[in-house]
């Protein structure tokens, strides 16, 4: 069976993408948790991944002797090995656009990701209001999300970005969590999409797991001193 190495569900946005994709699509896998203690070379986290991931990071997908250690590569591998799941849109043009928006998430939105680390358990609306006031680059990232999602939801009729759930939605699920945690202002139709993503069974299972962790990592929470 496939193995997926992940970090703490409360914090690890990169791990969330393939986990949600596989859970929502019904692809069986075994979860292996690599707890965030620190990312120092001598940390337990790095020790656990030694010999598994050449980068020492999560997520990592293991399929027998094959190791895939990049989120986009994992998504493509799953799409190839499970064609019946239709993880990408079936239409060629829609598939190209879905790949484009997934790749944009993979490499972009640095201001939003840097300002608002994923923290599913927290409610940081006051912090979000200050960040919104002071971070124009973050506001620009959110506006790009609004423009992109609005266009796709209108074109494909929802409820997901390309009609039905796809890799694109899995890739943006952690952004939905950030928008909720920090209370960033978005239009009603975008908030409705965020809510629909949170209610997907695969996403809800991840959220439930994150809330059950009770594993405060101070270095992952720059805006809080404790719980």
**What CATH number corresponds to the domain at position 81?**
3.40.30.10
pLDDT at 225: 60
CA angle, 214 as apex, 169 and 210 as ends, to 5°?
10
Between the CA atoms of 186, 189, 191 and 196, what dihedral angle is there, to the nearest 10 degrees? -160
pLDDT at 221: 84
In a domain, 227, yes or no: no
What's the rounded mean pLDDT across residues 153-159? 97
Tokens representing 41 are: 């070379």
Element (H, E) at 3: strand 2-6
Peptide bond into 161 cis (omega under 30): no
pLDDT at 86: 98
What's the rounded mean pLDDT across residues 136-162? 98
Range of the structural domain that residue 172 is part of: 92-208
In a domain, 24, yes or no: yes
48-52, 86-90, 166-170, 192-196: range with lowest mean pLDDT: 48-52
pLDDT beyond 90 at 97: yes
Strand bridging mode 60-63 / 29-33: unpaired
**Domain match, 204 and 101 both:** yes
pLDDT at 226: 59
Peptide bond into 24 cis (omega under 30): no
**Domain match, 98 and 168 both:** yes
What's the rounded mean pLDDT across residues 137-150? 98
Strand, coil or helix: what is 63? strand
Mean pLDDT over the full length of the chain: 96
12: how many CB neighbours lie within 10 A of its CB? 23
pLDDT beyond 90 at 227: no
In a domain, 213, yes or no: no
**Domain match, 101 and 165 both:** yes
pLDDT at 119: 96
Beta bridge partners of 162: 164
In a domain, 214, yes or no: no
Which residue, of 85, 103, 118, is where some domain finishes? Answer: 85
pLDDT at 38: 85
What's the rounded mean pLDDT across residues 61-67? 97
pLDDT beyond 80 at 219: no
Count up the domains in the chain and report the number.
Answer: 2
In a domain, 216, yes or no: no
Query: pTM to 2 decimals?
Result: 0.95
Give the confidence band of 39 by pLDDT, cuts at 50, 70, 90. confident
Tokens representing 202 are: 């695969």
pLDDT at 223: 77
């Amino acid at each position: 069976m496939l193995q997926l190495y992940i970090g703490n569900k409360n914090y690890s946005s990169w791990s969330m993408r393939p986990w949600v994709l596989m859970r929502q699509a019904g692809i069986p896998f075994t979860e292996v948790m690599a707890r965030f203690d620190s990312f120092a070379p001598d940390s337990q986290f790095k020790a656990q991944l030694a010999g598994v991931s050449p980068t020492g990071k999560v997520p990592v997908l293991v399929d027998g002797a094959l190791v895939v250690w990049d989120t986009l590569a994992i998504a493509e591998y799953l799409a190839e090995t499970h064609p019946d799941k239709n993880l990408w849109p079936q239409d060629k043009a829609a598939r190209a656009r879905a790949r484009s928006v997934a790749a944009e998430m993979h490499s972009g939105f640095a201001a939003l990701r840097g300002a608002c680390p994923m923290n599913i358990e927290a409610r940081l609306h006051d912090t979000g209001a200050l960040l919104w006031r002071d971070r124009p680059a973050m506001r620009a990232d959110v506006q790009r999300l609004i423009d992109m999602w609005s266009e796709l939801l209108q074109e494909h009729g929802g409820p997901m970005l390309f009609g039905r759930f796809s890799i694109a939605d899995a890739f943006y699920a952690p952004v939905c969590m950030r928008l909720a945690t920090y209370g960033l202002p978005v239009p009603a139709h975008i908030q409705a999409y965020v809510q629909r993503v949170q209610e997907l069974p695969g996403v809800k299972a991840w959220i439930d797991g994150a809330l059950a962790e009770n594993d405060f990592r101070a270095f992952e929470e720059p805006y809080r001193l404790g719980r």
